[in-house]
Structure 1
């Protein structure tokens, strides 16, 4: 087993930003042939920050690993026709399109379907009506910026992680695989639509936020406290900040044992008339519990805490910067088999992950993102039967770009 679980599957991708490119990369890192189609100068996200000193997008390189790149003049009839031909190219494991661009013109499902009846197209949308939406506009509607940040904060606090994009990207990959399985069984294609807005709304319901509000409860800000159980940050004696969590009963007991507060907790239970083996009661008593733990943490260095916590299997973590993560944390290094240093074209050495999934402890190694147009000639000759001379003429006419 070589980790190429999806070997033979071919997906055409026309996308930008996070969700759709992440879905395509997920499939590519599982062994599918994912061919990204862009305009001659790259897509909307080709210069997206963060960038290197010379303006090369680290973002684009990060979300397009293991793919092939084809560049066409999508403003010309010839370029659009080539794009359509790639999408509907024959093959039992082909005829699959992933996009978050408007499904019209050369991406119109009904028009494409006239050329390939079993076409599978998954279109990632912003809102459920097909309008524009991103995490930074979806989150305010969900109320999350009013739950994020210190308790005394007034107004909204945005979150920097594009959570809905990330979930949508994984769901896009899942949706394509589900549709492909149905096609294998029934021989039919379909146009699957996946809205960022709907993903976010579904997760809000899954996690109980909507039921909580429906029950007449208004969630408040709790800063760095873990809602519904015990967990918060503390300062160590040498000025480091750590997070400790007692969500499960085992985690809580391990924390009490490591910090030596077992008897104090029993006394606290008696005084408050509560059972702190219940996670909700630990949340209610979080200030009293923190008062027991904080002095113990403050009297010890990070190294001492690590030894004490790890020996008792405490659930905890040190707060660290991204730079510290990269340079000091073995999990974010080649000591972790998921990572390896790649020579990313246009950037240089980059620590890059393979897919986190492990199948029988094997996976495909990480591969760099392609140079823009690096595979144009090969793809057009392989899939459309064009000769090298024909591709050369198209290049000279400005219809295609070959790296």
Structure 2
């Protein structure tokens, strides 16, 4: 946790990954993020994975360091409170993150009527307002058909929701950008960020749409082969599988030296009249000739023998290992300063991630757990909306709020 955004107040009304990720990143940089949900929890409140008591590990992971307000959003009074929270006064407020529909009780024009300089970042599925999630957008842009083994034409869905995560990070970036502009211009605005546009733009930025447009078809499957350079999984003598990547000339020369195959590779270069050091594309183009040399070299060596030499020579590699094994790796989890051991709303104690960035000049604060659903309802209504104890009590009695 850092204090770069200390003093900002962001209200979040969202579910699933992209919107909550945006709020999480802002909270980890010091903003006060207030999340409102239905009294019984939003649509992702019980989403898997679950603790043994049924609490969502997913929900408490994405909502760390946020304050929680519980409202009955099915009733006009609850919806009015959500609107007032999003548009609450204060120079550092008026910042709203949501994935509620563009039309409805949280429509931008409704909120702007309450606060003219409101900044609303709205996560969407499709730009036309149609429903879409990471898996459906990913299928539509063709990525599952580029993924998987070369001898199987079935689409392969990715377990990592890339477009959700990119959208969440982009939403945080655009919110801060709009805030910087508001401080000089005084203008508010709505920013709509559809997952479909993030996916389309990202594929275009990486040259993949140009490749399809100019070649007439999308990229073919290459299994575990790294496209356009040298990289693939190999098995060592002890049966351990690693991923090896050689993109730069230094990486390429280093792995050849460690494996002792510089001479046969040089002979292959002479035969093919190419230069594997200078042109990484040639390593990919001729990978079928190179792979057997590497397979034989790896099969003759144990990983324990290779690992220290790889590290010394700057070879880029990584072991294939399950997450439970990776959690003992000090470079990833065990001893990593971004993690703090926390007791979460589920009652479980386990390491939780704080800000992924490291700022050497600043002191890193520990990660903070998610709130219990509605934990801060009374506090937020009093401090942000200026409501009296009697007013808040009446809302509780009427079942409009909980906490």
TM-score class, shorter: over 0.9
Q: Which residue of 2 aligns with 1:90?
A: 89
| TM-superposition CA deviations, 1:257-276 (whole Å, max 9, x none) | 21112222211100111111
The question of whether the paired residues in 2 share the 8 Å contact of 1:125 and 1:195 is answered with yes
* TM-superposed deviation, 1:353: 1.0
Q: Which residue of 2 aligns with 1:173?
A: 172
Return the alpha-carbon distance in structure 1 between the equivalents of residues 12 and 39 of structure 2: 15
* TM-superposed deviation, 1:334: 4.4
The question of whether the paired residues in 2 share the 8 Å contact of 1:12 and 1:97 is answered with yes
* TM-superposed deviation, 1:59: 0.7
Matches within 5 A, 1:325-364: 325-326=326-327, 328-362=328-362, 363-364=364-365
Q: Give the secondary structure class of the aligned counterpart of 1:330.
A: coil
- Structure-2-length-normalised TM-score: 0.96
* TM-superposed deviation, 1:236: 1.3
Question: For structure 1, which segment, 23-32 or 232-241, has the greater mean C-alpha deviation from structure 2 after superposition?
Answer: 232-241
Q: Which residue of 2 aligns with 1:300?
A: 301
Q: Which residue of 1 aligns with 2:394?
A: 393
Return the alpha-carbon distance in structure 1 between the equivalents of residues 105 and 400 of structure 2: 15
The question of whether the paired residues in 1 share the 8 Å contact of 2:56 and 2:346 is answered with no
Residues 317 and 334 (structure 1 numbering): CA distance in 2 closer, same or farther, change over 3 Å? closer
* TM-superposed deviation, 1:142: 1.2
Task: Establish whether residue 153 from structure 1 lines up as the match of residue 152 from structure 2.
Answer: yes
Q: Give the secondary structure class of the aligned counterpart of 1:288.
A: helix
Return the alpha-carbon distance in structure 1 between the equivalents of residues 76 and 134 of structure 2: 34
The question of whether the paired residues in 2 share the 8 Å contact of 1:31 and 1:364 is answered with no
Q: Which residue of 2 aligns with 1:131?
A: 130
Q: Which residue of 1 aligns with 2:259?
A: 259
Residues 244 and 263 (structure 1 numbering): CA distance in 2 closer, same or farther, change over 3 Å? same
Return the alpha-carbon distance in structure 2 between the equivalents of residues 313 and 330 of structure 1: 19
* TM-superposed deviation, 1:68: 0.5
Matches within 5 A, 1:203-282: 203-216=202-215, 218=217, 219-277=219-277, 278-282=279-283
* TM-superposed deviation, 1:401: 0.9
Q: Which residue of 1 aligns with 2:23?
A: 24
Q: Which residue of 1 aligns with 2:2?
A: 3
Return the alpha-carbon distance in structure 1 between the equivalents of residues 283 and 332 of structure 2: 33
Return the alpha-carbon distance in structure 1 between the equivalents of residues 69 and 370 of structure 2: 12
Return the alpha-carbon distance in structure 1 between the equivalents of residues 82 and 127 of structure 2: 26
Return the alpha-carbon distance in structure 2 between the equivalents of residues 217 and 244 of structure 1: 31
The question of whether the paired residues in 1 share the 8 Å contact of 2:39 and 2:401 is answered with yes
| TM-superposition CA deviations, 1:67-100 (whole Å, max 9, x none) | 1100011112221222122111111110111001
* TM-superposed deviation, 1:17: 0.3
Q: Which residue of 1 aligns with 2:51?
A: 52
Return the alpha-carbon distance in structure 2 between the equivalents of residues 359 and 308 of structure 1: 31
Return the alpha-carbon distance in structure 2 between the equivalents of residues 241 and 72 of structure 1: 51
Q: Give the secondary structure class of the aligned counterpart of 2:105.
A: helix
The question of whether the paired residues in 2 share the 8 Å contact of 1:30 and 1:364 is answered with no
Question: For structure 1, which segment, 282-291 or 388-397, has the greater mean C-alpha deviation from structure 2 after superposition?
Answer: 388-397
Return the alpha-carbon distance in structure 1 between the equivalents of residues 196 and 160 of structure 2: 16
Question: For structure 1, which segment, 342-351 or 14-23, has the greater mean C-alpha deviation from structure 2 after superposition?
Answer: 342-351
Return the alpha-carbon distance in structure 1 between the equivalents of residues 102 and 142 of structure 2: 30
* TM-superposed deviation, 1:205: 0.5
The question of whether the paired residues in 1 share the 8 Å contact of 2:254 and 2:315 is answered with yes
Where structure 1 has 5 or more consecutive residues not aligned to the other structure, the ranges are none
Q: Give the secondary structure class of the aligned counterpart of 1:171.
A: helix
Q: How many aligned residue pairs are there?
A: 400
Return the alpha-carbon distance in structure 1 between the equivalents of residues 359 and 333 of structure 2: 21
Matches within 5 A, 1:316-331: 316-326=317-327, 328-331=328-331
Question: For structure 1, which segment, 149-158 or 161-170, has the greater mean C-alpha deviation from structure 2 after superposition?
Answer: 149-158
Q: Which residue of 2 aligns with 1:197?
A: 196
Return the alpha-carbon distance in structure 2 between the equivalents of residues 348 and 158 of structure 1: 31
The question of whether the paired residues in 2 share the 8 Å contact of 1:149 and 1:157 is answered with yes
Return the alpha-carbon distance in structure 2 between the equivalents of residues 281 and 364 of structure 1: 47
